[in-house]
Amino acid sequence: MLSEYSGTDEYIQDDSADMVIINHKNPQGNVMAKRIMAYDAVNDEYDMAYISTSAPMGIEHSALKLKDLGNGEYELIEEYEEEGAKKKMRHELKKSGENKVDWVIFESGKDGQDWKKVYAMDMTKKQ
């Protein structure tokens, strides 16, 4: 089941540092979590750090492989470890306007192929 979330997501692209920052905000505008993504040229992937203000785990790390699907559509496969178990997520990104991106996240099933939609964001690039 897709969880309900009534806050906003602020997307900030720092081209000078090849970095993307996403601030997840509650309805009052307070940052509740951050995602920071930076390109790792050595491994040809993106490193991502997830920082939550309410989670006791500190900074969670993952690696994302990017695939260009064409027509402004991209797929990111995210791999990380959670409590000793390997996890996999699929991110679908689609440009929906000049400065807009639709971002949908799916979690892999037990066999690694059954994907379940868990989160969706409609983001506008902050100028």
| Domains of the chain in sequence order | 8-124 (2.40.128)
To the nearest whole number, what is the mean pLDDT of the chain? 85
Higher pLDDT, 94 or 101: 94
Separation between Cα atoms, residue 63 and residue 88, nearest integer Å: 10
pLDDT at 126: 63
Query: How far is 121 from 4, CA to CA, in rounded Å?
Result: 12
Q: Is 123 exposed, middle or buried (0-12, 13-18, 19+ CB in 10 A)?
A: buried
Edge-to-edge strand list for the sheet holding 8-14: 8-14, 19-25, 31-40, 45-52, 59-70, 73-82, 85-97, 100-108, 115-124
Is the pTM for the entire model greater than 0.85? no
pLDDT for 5 equals 55
What pLDDT score was predicted for residue 87?
A: 86
Note the pLDDT tens digit of each residue in 18-29. Answer: 888 989 888 898
pLDDT value for 92: 94
